[in-house]
């Protein structure tokens, strides 16, 4: 495969529409799964659904620079400090992509029953149209994309260990994504979505 100067292979580029695209780099990271799993302080969060508090079907952790508060599923989350492996991944991503990631949402899918419903990462705290970098580790799971307005599915990708997926330009404005449940027996998966939270001058 063609190698760039910093040894990152060229990504696959998927044009969703003329203003939105994805980049996929298989085997971008060789980080050890257990090291990553043990480095993150996983939490069980709950969301309000039809008037009841229910556990999210996954564990998660919100990590980042101290100013990166984030309102997610109607809850204000304050960031926990960077753990060493994620701090390094953040630096590597920012160096290679020219981004300014200052936070990351980590998700742990314990088995095929854990999933994430349709959504866009378009909260007001996020820098508009900034790249989101999603790194997957562990077992492969199906990542789906559909058009927001028509709810037409436009594609699905099996994100395997070490894969970097970038959602760029206006992807969050026009599209939604999800991680499907599966009845197949699958092991754990960790996903890290690096984000750029808008820090207002104080
Ligand atoms: O697990 C994934 O691949 C997607 C996670 C995601 O969409 C998110 O954290 O917003
Ligand atoms: Fe997302």
Q: What is the pLDDT of residues 76-122, one digit of tens each?
A: 889 999 999 999 999 999 999 999 999 999 999 999 999 999 999 99
CATH class of the domain defined by 12-195: mainly beta
CA nearest to 197, candidates 104, 121, 102: 102
Q: What is the dihedral of CA 152, 24, 31, 160, to 10 degrees?
A: 50
Tell me 127's DSSP state.
P
Q: Is the CB of 122 under 6 A from ligand 1?
A: no
Of the bound ligands, which one is closest to the alpha carbon of residue 190? 1
Tell me 65's DSSP state.
-
Q: Is 55 in contact with 74 (CB distance < 8 Å)?
A: no
Q: Is the CB of 177 under 6 A from ligand 1?
A: yes
Mean pLDDT in residue range 159-174: 97
Of the bound ligands, which one is closest to the alpha carbon of residue 115? 1
Mean pLDDT in residue range 143-164: 97
Q: Is 33 in contact with 140 (CB distance < 8 Å)?
A: no
State the Cα–Cα distance between residues 142 and 148, nearest whole angstrom: 18
Q: What is the pTM of this model?
A: 0.93
Task: Give yes or no for residue 201 having a pLDDT over 80.
Answer: no
Cβ contacts of residue 177 below 8 Å, gap of 6+? 118, 119, 120, 143, 144, 145, 146, 167
Mean pLDDT in residue range 54-63: 96
Cβ contacts of residue 66 below 8 Å, gap of 6+? 79, 81
Q: Is the CB of 193 under 6 A from ligand 1?
A: yes
Which residues on neighbouring strands pair with residue 17, listed in sequence order? Answer: 20
How far does residue 184's CA lie from ligand 2's centre (Å)? Answer: 23
């Amino acid at each position: 495969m063609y190698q760039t100067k910093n040894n990152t292979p060229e990504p696959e580029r998927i044009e969703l529409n003329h203003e939105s695209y994805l980049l996929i780099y298989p085997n971008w990271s060789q980080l050890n799964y257990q090291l990553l799993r043990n480095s993150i302080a996983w939490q069980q969060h709950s969301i309000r659904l039809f008037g009841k508090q229910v556990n999210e079907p996954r564990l998660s952790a919100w990590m980042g620079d101290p100013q990166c508060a984030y309102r997610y599923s109607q809850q204000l989350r304050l960031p926990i400090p960077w753990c060493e492996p994620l701090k390094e991944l953040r630096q590597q991503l920012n160096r290679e992509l020219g981004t300014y990631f200052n936070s990351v949402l980590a998700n742990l899918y314990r088995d095929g029953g854990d999933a994430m419903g349709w959504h866009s990462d378009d909260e007001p705290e996020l820098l508009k149209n900034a790249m989101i970098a999603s790194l997957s580790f562990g077992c492969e799971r199906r990542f789906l994309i559909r058009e927001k307005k028509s709810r037409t599915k436009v594609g699905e990708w099996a994100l395997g260990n070490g894969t970097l997926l970038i959602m760029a330009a206006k992807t969050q404005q026009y599209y939604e994504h999800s991680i499907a449940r599966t009845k197949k027996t699958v092991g754990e998966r960790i996903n890290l979505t690096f984000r750029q939270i808008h820090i207002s001058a104080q």
